Every structure is written in structure tokens, then in C-alpha cells.
Structure 1
Amino acid sequence: MPNITDTVTTADGSCPVRLFTPEGQGPWPGVVMIPDAGGVRQTFFDMAAKLADFGYAVLLPDVYYRQGDWAPFDMKTAFSDDSERKRLYSFIGSITAEKWASDANAYFDYLAARPEVSGTKFGITGYCMGGRASLIVAGRVPDRVAAAASFHGGGLVTDSSDSPHLKADQIQATVYVGGAENDASFTDDHAEQLEKALTAANVKHKIEKYAAGHGYAVPDNGSYDPDAEERHWAAMREVFAANLTA
């Protein structure tokens, strides 16, 4: 799959990115893929390449660029090893909603300037931490997002003032949320609250629960589920095909 490595200048520095495109001649609709808490790694290179093969120019950013040359996480031990778990959560906590929005504007500026990319509105998709980021961006950068997808995202509904569901009335995008079963970070009650917020805001959306655990769509996660992964690709293709045009 054709791809290039590059950097995107943000308000806080330089973010390494990789841009994946389909074979052939573009331009194609642009999509930003936000990784899970483990950050950019080979699994996400493979996932971005697969999404690109569906007909999209896919930007995969190193969302932890503020950490400098950080050591990769081993997802088999990232949550069981105490020191690694603390490092992981410190990385997650370092990216505020304001930083997600600011970075997204920089990613969208980059895509808009690329000859491989068409259109002025984009898709965004994410997993776990990235699933939350997708909805944050949809609510805080509404005029640039045509479709937002969240897979096993956590923290979509919280008591915090920066909870994504509180910005539902700002969202212009079509939203898809694929939750996981028995997931304390996105419970049935959270799903109901998010449903009510999006409906009240007249946001076109779909919220589903997958019969799989948190992390189901990412192959190097311990809770990876092949059937749920295939379902998530089908759902993402559907929402992007309906809302992103070349």
C-alpha cells in the first residue's frame, strides 16, 4: 500500500505522521485514524493501510509526539506491568480535549493541502482513547468533520466538563459508535445518555454494542475478536461511504 512518512506542524511542535493512500490515481477523501492508548505501532500501520485500500487517504499521527522519542508499549504487558501502566496513563492524560482539537485542525490542514486528498471535510476514526478523541474532535472542530467513528471508545460520557457528549449540539458530522460489552468505560447507561444527547441535537448517528470485549478491533490487543473486527470494518466503510465523497 503506498504511504509516505512526514511531519505535521502543530501548536505544540512537530507530529510525525504516515499517510496511506490506495493504489492508482486520486484524489481520495481524507480520514484521520487515531490509535488506541498504545499509540502508533505496526498494528495501526496495517489497519491504516487496510482502510486506505477501501478508497481513502488515511493519516495516522503519532498522537504522543509531545513525549519526544518515546519507547513503544507492549500491549501484552502495558496494563499488567505497574510501571508501564503508570506511563501509559500519564501519556493518555497529557492530551486534553483542547489539545485533541488543536491537533486535529493541524491534521486537517495537512490533508487539505495534499494533492492526494479531496474535499474540505474529513472523516475521523479512533479506538479506545482514539474513539473518545473522534467524538471530541467532532464536537470541537465541527465544520471540518463529515463523519466520526468510535470503536470501543471509553469516556464518551463522564461527569467531567469536557465529556464528549456535552458537545453534541455542536456536531455536524454523522456519528457511529461501536461499544464493547461489559465495558466499564462505556456502559449501557453511558450509551443511553449519549443516544439522548445526539438525538436531542439532531445528529445523525448509530450506537451499537458488539458482543466482544474492549479492544475487539485491534489485532494485537488481548481481547481482539476477529468477528467483531470484521463487523467494525463493515460499519466504518458504510458510514464513510455515505458521508465522504471524492
Structure 2
Amino acid sequence: MADGVIDAQIITPSSSISPSKNPPVVMFSDIGGMRPATETKAQAVADLGYSVLLPNILYRSGRGQIVPVDRRFDDQDMLTELVECGRLLTPEALSRDFVGLVSAVEREPEFREGRIGTVGYCRGGGIAIRLAALYPDKVAAAAGFHSSNLADPNDPNSPMLVVNQVTALIYLGHADKDDYLPPEQISLFDRVLSENSAHFMTELYRGYRHGFTTLDTDAYSQKADILHLNRLRMVLGEALTD
């Protein structure tokens, strides 16, 4: 079980006149956690035709929005605090969280029965891969955008070490010249995926920086954001459409 109660939101397509069952997608935010920009992104994903479960990945550090409303999550001092909160997201802790999240998808009325998709941003990209690895019979698609530290060879908890357990379709949209995922890590992660015969696609968003889908950063690009949603529509549609 999770280490306490995970606060979360369930977001459905804005065009729904009344609650209805949609294919489920579990979305993992960047290290900034719950805030208006994250909720806006989750609504955009839901509007592709899915019910989105958006958990507070930082619930161990507080409920709801951790970042004060008068501060930016990517200010250096705030980011340092958030990185410390993120140290609690060990593989063991995440595996306990996943039990509750998968149970919620199976229990709540907004979610259609069947396999699920997952998508993560920045730190959340690796979390989405880990969910797919721990639930290979449940997760049909796992996507990550401007993911961070997917293949650090010095990290004993690197997501690349669980790729061999993933059966889902994997899509990764990488930022160009990303300090959080340098080219050598991109190449290494691709190689590990290939060596494990994974079904995957990777794409470099050339000219865009880490955080290109994130509204409350200077790196945000509307053009790249639209492209990411189009790619997500393709991947989720292929994996979750009957």
C-alpha cells in the first residue's frame, strides 16, 4: 500500500455532458507536482478521449500544490527543495504507490475496464516506465516527454534496469540538448530498449528545451506542445483502442 493517502484528481474529457467511462491514463507530473499548469496539461490529455488519473507524486511532502503560488517551481531555490522531496520516490516507495493507483483505476466509475496507458513528464517519464514494468499485463502504452535521467549508468535505480519487464508500447519525446537527459543517455536507453526487443519509438524534438510541454516554464513551446499531444493521441490510440 501507499505511504498514506495519495491525493489525486480524475480528469475527464471536457466535452462530456455527463460522467462516462473512458480508457484510463495515469499521468505523472514533473518534479513541480500539482499546480495549475499540471492540471491544464492533464485536461489536454483527457480531451484526447481518456479519463486521466493525476496523482500528487509529492504527497509524502504535502497535499495539493507544494510550490507556493507566488513562486516558480523552476527557480533554483525552489527546485532544490523539490529535488529533496523527490528523493522519497524510491523504487520501493513507487511500487507501493502503484498498488493504490492501479486499484483506483479498477474501482472508480470514470475508467473503462481493460488495459491502461501512462504518461510522464520530466521525472515522471521514468515513473511511467516503472509502472509499465511492474504491471506488464495491465499497461499497454507508456510515454515520456522531456524525461530526465533515464539511463544514468551510475544510478542503481535507473529506469533502464527494468525495461526488460516492459511489454507496453513505449514512446519517448526527448528535448534537444537537455541537461537532464544528455545525448549519451538517450543513446544508451535506446540501446537497452533494442537489446530487450521492446516495442518503442523515440523522437528528438529538435530546437526545444527541457520542459517544452510545461506552461509555467520559459522552455514552453506551443508548437512542441501540440506535437506532443498529436504523438500521444497516436500512441494511446494504437494501444488502447479496441
The TM-score normalised by the length of structure 2 is: 0.91
- Are 2:86 and 1:86 equivalent residues in the alignment? no
Alpha carbons 2:174, 2:204 under 8 Å: kept: yes
**1:17 equivalent in alignment to 2:8:** yes
Coordinate RMSD, CA, aligned: 1.9
Instruction: State which drifts further: 70-79 or 95-104.
Output: 70-79
1:245 equivalenced with 2:241 (yes/no): yes
For residues 75 and 154 of structure 1, do their structure 2 counterparts lie closer, same or farther at Cα, with a shift above 3 Å needed? farther
Query: Is the aligned partner of 1:189 residue 2:184?
Result: yes
- In structure 1, how many angstroms separate the alpha carbons of the residues matched to 2:59 and 2:71? 22
Give 1:217's aligned residue.
213
Residue of structure 2 equivalent to 1:235: 231
Q: Name the amino acid aligned to 1:98.
A: E
2:143 to 146, 149, 159: 149
1:26 aligns with 2:20: yes
Q: Please list the CA deviations of residues 187-244 of structure 1 after superposition, one character each: whole Å capped at 9, or x if unmatched.
A: 2221211111111212110011112000001111121111111110011110000001
Please name the residue that 1:123 is paired with.
Answer: 117
Amino acid at match of 2:23: P
* Cα distance in 1 for residues equivalent to 2:82 and 2:22: 34
Moved more, 90-99 or 33-42: 90-99
Give the secondary structure class of the aligned counterpart of 2:129. helix
Q: From the superposition, tell whether residues 178 and 53 of structure 1 become closer, same or farther in structure 2 (CA, over 3 Å).
A: same
Give the stretch that moved more between structures: 229-238 or 155-164: 155-164
Alignment pair present for 1:103 and 2:94: no
Question: Which shifted more, 183-192 or 142-151?
Answer: 183-192
Q: Secondary structure at 2:214's aligned position in 1?
A: coil
Report Cα offsets for 1:117-154 as digits up to 9, x if no partner. 12332111011111121112222332221100000000
* 1:202 partnered with 2:197: yes
Rounded to whole Å, the distance in 1 between the matches of 2:160 and 2:66 is: 33
Q: Which moved more, 1:23-32 or 1:235-244?
A: 23-32
- Cα 1:120–1:98 shift into 2, 3 Å: farther
Match for residue 159 of structure 2 among 154, 157, 164: 164
Q: Is the 8 A contact 2:120 2:127 kept in 1?
A: yes
Q: What is aligned with 1:179?
A: 174
In 2, the alpha carbon distance for the partners of 1:37 and 1:183 equals 16
**Sequence identity (%):** 30
- Aligned counterparts of 2:91 and 2:227: Cα–Cα separation in 1: 29
Q: Matched residue pairs, number?
A: 236
Query: Displacement, 1:73?
Result: 4.8
Structure with bigger strand share is: 1
Unaligned runs of 5+ in 2: none
Residues 142, 75 of structure 1: CA spacing in aligned structure 2 closer, same or farther, 3 A cutoff? Answer: farther
How far is the alpha carbon of 1:75 from its aligned partner?
Answer: 9.4
Q: Is the 8 A contact 1:119 1:245 kept in 2?
A: no
State the Cα deviation string for residues 16-42 of structure 1 (Å, max 9, x = none). 111011204632110011111110111
Distance across 1 between alignment mates of 2:217 and 2:68: 12
What letter matches 2:190 in structure 1? E
SS of corresponding position for 1:120: coil
CA contact (8 A) 2:2 2:99 kept: no
Structure 2: which amino acid aligns with 1:120? G
TM-score (norm 1): 0.89
With over 3 angstroms needed to count, the CA separation of the structure-2 counterparts of 1:126 and 1:138, relative to structure 1, is: same
Corresponding residue of 1:133: 127
Distance, in Å, in 1 between the alignment partners of 2:175 and 2:223 is 13
Tell me the SS of whatever aligns to 2:119.
Answer: strand
